[in-house]
Chains A and B, each alone.
Chain A
Amino acid sequence: MLALLVFLPILAFIAILLGAPARLTAIGASAANLSIGLYAAFSWKYSCWSFSVPVLEKPALNLAFGFPPDGMSVVMVLLTVIVTLAAVLSGKAPEGKEKLYFGSSLLISGGALGAFAATDLFFFYAFHELALIPTFLMIGMLGRGDRKEAAWKITIYLGLGSIILLAGLVWLTNLTGTYDIAKMIAAKDSVDPHSQKSIAALLLVGFGTLVSLFPFHSWAAPAYASAPAPTAMLHAGVLKKFGLYGLLRIAIPLIPEGLNAWLIPLLVLLLGNILWVGLVTISQKRLDLMLGNSSVMHMGYIFLAIAALVAFPENPLAQPAAVLLMFAHGVSIALLFGLADRLERNTGSLDLSDLGGLAKSAPKLAFVFGIAAMASIGLPGLANFSGEVLVFLAAFKTYNGTAGLGPVQIACILSIWGVVISAVYMLRAYRNIFQGPSVKATESAADLTLLDRIPTVLLILALFAVGLYPNLLLNLLK
């Protein structure tokens, strides 16, 4: 079953290449995948989902998919299928580029699904790379503004990050002697403390670059700003989470001591994400750059959850917190990028100073954007709130009054300021765009059509469902 989920987008890509109608095929495949994904959320514990085909005899290597018992994969798969459908529904391909546009989106989705579902380290890595290539191509060919520069930058950054990551992973497999992730974790005693420290550094930098950990983040904002809408939605929403997922899936079970040695640097860097990039976000003059930076900033909270887990591996809250926030952020940032694209198509500009009073001519857009902005700030009732609160709780889970504040708690207190920062830039952007007197660009701007509302409703539903009843996901993560 899981193989079907992974290969459906890839098969649809091939079909598009061979001449099938691009948009319809993409929507059909994504909708089918969404239903399979939802079905998986109920039945993922059954063995019918796992899939394994031997690829190599020497060294033993299987093309294997499955849902490990911790439930992280299921949540990530759900996130992927939801965002994919929204992305292909909300994107509008430039004339004559439908094949590339929808085909690439499907390929990114298939790669992400493969990476999240793989239980074998080789394909875990390989599928992520598969998804990166169409990302680069889409930004370079169909992007806006300074697309070549942005595409080249993301290619170099993520290419180098992947190679550093590969170095760490090869090292790990060499020590444990297998590619099967479950077997690797079983053999974790063979990773000696000295290697742990070096491998942890490689994995933190490698995965960190992929997730735009400060200071390896400077590729992200320009890339998202110039990427076509589905690419930005899929990369910022889904594919970027691969790095965090990898840290949770591989680094934390295998090399806890090695990561612990880097705890303080990690905390400093994640504060860099939240506070430094947060301030950078406030100073942005364009909506797309602002959203790009804000997505970098929010990665800091997830890293905080990971840091809490590194500091106290028994922490029961940290992993669910991280995964919940990954899901929430993925959905909300995808919604924001989708709406920003709509906004640009309707008004012709994303420059905050060019816009104003859009709520009069496009009330529906204003309403939906308001919800997305509130979600991003972390208003109660929306998914991000449950995620962020859980992260903060996880950071304080091990606090005891007599020992005083540990480094994780101090970082947590500082990072709560990030919520204020998000409120400042999001609300200011909202005011600039939707309120005040109408200007020329917004006077006669079109509102959301019925067709536009389907993907937004899908994403908002997900945000509310998880926000009001987080146990939907937390039950999966038990």
Chain B
Amino acid sequence: MPAYYLEVLTVTLGLVLLMAEAFLPTKSKARVGIAAALFLGVILCVTCTATGPTPGNVWPTWIGRFYQFDSLARFYKLFALVTTIFVVLLSVDYRKILVRFTDHPGSENGTGEYYALPVFACAGMMWLASARDLAGAFVALELITITFYILVAYMRRNVGSLEAGVKYLILGALSTGFLVYGIAWMYGTTHTMVCLASHSFIMSGEITNPSGLLFGIALIMVGIGFKIGAVPMQLWIPDVYQGAPTPTTAFLSVGSKAAGFILLIRFIEPLLATEITRGPVLNLLIILAVATLLFGNLAAIPQTNFKRLLAYSSIAHAGFLLLALAAGAAETANSLSSAQVVSFYLATYLIMTLGVFFVLAQVRIQRDGENISDFNGLGKTNPLLALSLTVLLAALAGVPLTAGFIGKFFVFSLAVEAKLWAGVGVAFIAAAAGFYYYLNVVRAMWWGNAGQMAKVNLPVISKLCITLLTISTLVFGIWPQPILALLK
């Protein structure tokens, strides 16, 4: 099947789910979520068999102008689908909290859309992975962002969620402004929108004075910086992450960030191939990387709220990813390219982060709190759950033999190879700080006093997902080849 049907399928699925939610009489809206996860799984399988244009199967030219399909596109489509499936499953278990803060407290009446909206965001992420021109990328990005405006503020009787929604709306709109303005400058200087595939546009544009182009690039990078949470565009992250419903936070920190990164990868790829822009773009990236690494990791240290800690941790990981991009490495016989390393890192980040969010959601539901102190004594009440969370957090910190270490290892190798000594030095400080704040939670779990804390009973879905994600963290820590095979 030609790849462009995938987005069509996903959007159709979203619409059908919305209709079904509205018109089918069901008591439990969680069925919508289960159905969404199932059908997304079907699309996942279809994605594996989807093909790009071949001599025997030529795509219409109008599609070819704005849509491409390569291994990177397939990887990020799979990434979006997997993330969305886990997020929807997480939402199903999270509905106990959700129903308390929607229009009809106690009943599931107002919660159906919560399972359908992520599907639309997923379609946006999938399209973004294939976008060839800036206009298409912009529309895909807005599809994601606007969905998130609703999802973040979904618990409308909860002050925190509302506050998060307003902050996300205002800063999201601001970033959109930067992005549009930047696209306008790009178009003005190069006379083309197809900026994400080849670098011919800079060559053919006969640019004598590149400052207009560079200005446009800088503006677009600011806009993307908001999405990936690069310092100094990270301001919204802690508050929005903390206030949003936990599944949405998970979706933001994995899906939305990955969407930002695939756009960034596609955007800088042609820029790095041309002499005029390569130097400035790499300089900008290394500055962003160093600032992000420092801020994300150091600000995470004093956090007491676990969800907020994860927000800072997501900034910190963005720093590592930016460092890999700043190396600007192309693929060689003996080493991976920056884009491959970023993609691999994001895949491991997906596994670890989603696992942590599953545990966090259950602790939130059953112990009614999201502070690190709410994890006290989890090692005594739920040894296996605590062991899983220990593995996941150790992976986030980058302990060897976990998937997280391999990702960091690649990043460091690239940075050393590119001789980015400032970046390497800061990244080491960042990794050391990471050890401290992640293990702080581990300390609370195993050494903290349980007191009156109740045992956490895991629902089936959460139990399966946590087990799966923990085992994957360990397996990919020893045998990362399957993920890398997808990136060839």
In contact, A152 and B400 (Cβ under 8 angstroms)? no
Give the distance to chain B from A367, nearest Cβ to Cβ, in Å: 38
Q: State whether the Cβ of B379 lies closer than 8 Å to any Cβ in chain A.
A: yes
Tier of interface size on chain B: 20 to 34
Q: State whether the Cβ of A20 lies closer than 8 Å to any Cβ in chain B.
A: no
Residues on B with beta carbons closer than 8 Å to the beta carbon of A55:
478-481
Q: State whether the Cβ of B412 lies closer than 8 Å to any Cβ in chain A.
A: yes
Q: State whether the Cβ of A126 lies closer than 8 Å to any Cβ in chain B.
A: yes
Q: State whether the Cβ of B413 lies closer than 8 Å to any Cβ in chain A.
A: yes
Which residue of chain A lies nearest to B485 when distances are taken between CB atoms in the complex? A57
Contact of A127 among B383, B401, B413, B416 (CB under 8 A): B401
Query: Which of A170-178, A258-266, A320-328, A432-440 lies at the binding interface?
Result: A170-178
In contact, B484 and A58 (Cβ under 8 angstroms)? yes
Query: Which of A129-137, A212-220, A386-394 lies at the binding interface?
Result: A129-137
In contact, A130 and B400 (Cβ under 8 angstroms)? yes
Which residue of chain A lies nearest to B419 when distances are taken between CB atoms in the complex? A174
Contact of B379 among A17, A141, A148, A174 (CB under 8 A): A141
Which residue of chain A lies nearest to B440 when distances are taken between CB atoms in the complex? A152
Which residue of chain A lies nearest to B397 when distances are taken between CB atoms in the complex? A159
Q: State whether the Cβ of A125 lies closer than 8 Å to any Cβ in chain B.
A: yes
In contact, A170 and B412 (Cβ under 8 angstroms)? yes
In contact, A129 and B399 (Cβ under 8 angstroms)? yes
Residues on A with beta carbons closer than 8 Å to the beta carbon of B215:
none
Q: State whether the Cβ of A140 lies closer than 8 Å to any Cβ in chain B.
A: yes
In contact, B443 and A58 (Cβ under 8 angstroms)? no
Q: State whether the Cβ of B446 lies closer than 8 Å to any Cβ in chain A.
A: yes
Q: State whether the Cβ of B447 lies closer than 8 Å to any Cβ in chain A.
A: yes
Q: A129-B399, A160-B432, A163-B431 are in contact. Are A177 and B334 (CB under 8 A)?
A: yes
Taken together as a complex, chains A and B put the C-alpha atoms of A163 and B480 apart, in Å, by 22
Give the distance to chain A from B412, nearest Cβ to Cβ, in Å: 6
Residues on B with beta carbons closer than 8 Å to the beta carbon of A177:
334
Taken together as a complex, chains A and B put the C-alpha atoms of A99 and B379 apart, in Å, by 13
Which residue of chain B lies nearest to A128 when distances are taken between CB atoms in the complex? B400
Give the distance to chain B from A233, nearest Cβ to Cβ, in Å: 21
In contact, A163 and B435 (Cβ under 8 angstroms)? yes
In contact, A58 and B335 (Cβ under 8 angstroms)? yes
Contact of B334 among A58, A141, A151 (CB under 8 A): A58
In contact, A130 and B413 (Cβ under 8 angstroms)? no
Give the distance to chain B from A168, nearest Cβ to Cβ, in Å: 11
Contact residues of B: prevailing secondary structure: helix
Q: A59-B334, A133-B399, A163-B432 are in contact. Are A100 and B383 (CB under 8 A)?
A: yes
Residues on A with beta carbons closer than 8 Å to the beta carbon of B335:
58-59
Contact of A174 among B387, B413, B478 (CB under 8 A): B413
Which residue of chain A lies nearest to B431 when distances are taken between CB atoms in the complex? A163
Taken together as a complex, chains A and B put the C-alpha atoms of A125 and B401 apart, in Å, by 10
In contact, A170 and B443 (Cβ under 8 angstroms)? no
Within 8 A of A (CB), among B390-408: 390, 394, 399-401, 405
Taken together as a complex, chains A and B put the C-alpha atoms of A86 and B379 apart, in Å, by 28
In contact, B446 and A141 (Cβ under 8 angstroms)? yes
Taken together as a complex, chains A and B put the C-alpha atoms of A159 and B439 apart, in Å, by 10
Give the distance to chain A from B413, nearest Cβ to Cβ, in Å: 7
Which residue of chain A lies nearest to B436 when distances are taken between CB atoms in the complex? A156
Contact of B400 among A57, A125, A167 (CB under 8 A): A125
Contact of B481 among A57, A159, A163, A167 (CB under 8 A): A57
Most buried by B among A55, A126, A174, A177: A126
Q: State whether the Cβ of B78 lies closer than 8 Å to any Cβ in chain A.
A: no
Residues on A with beta carbons closer than 8 Å to the beta carbon of B436:
156, 159
Q: A126-B405, A163-B432 are in contact. Are A151 and B447 (CB under 8 A)?
A: yes
Residues on A with beta carbons closer than 8 Å to the beta carbon of B412:
170
Q: State whether the Cβ of A454 lies closer than 8 Å to any Cβ in chain B.
A: no
Within 8 A of A (CB), among B436-488: 436, 439, 443, 446-447, 478-481, 484
Interface residues, chain A, CB within 8 Å of chain B?
17, 55-60, 63, 99-100, 122, 125-127, 129-130, 133, 137, 140-141, 147-148, 151-152, 155-156, 159-160, 163, 167, 170-171, 173-174, 177
Interface residues, chain B, CB within 8 Å of chain A?
333-336, 379, 383, 387, 390, 394, 399-401, 405, 409, 412-413, 416-417, 424, 428, 431-432, 435-436, 439, 443, 446-447, 478-481, 484
Query: Can you name 10 A-B pairs with beta carbons within 8 Å?
Result: A58-B333, A126-B400, A126-B405, A127-B400, A130-B401, A137-B446, A140-B443, A148-B443, A170-B416, A174-B413
The 6 residue pairs across chains A and B that have the minimum distance between CB atoms: A126-B400, A129-B400, A140-B447, A159-B435, A174-B416, A126-B401
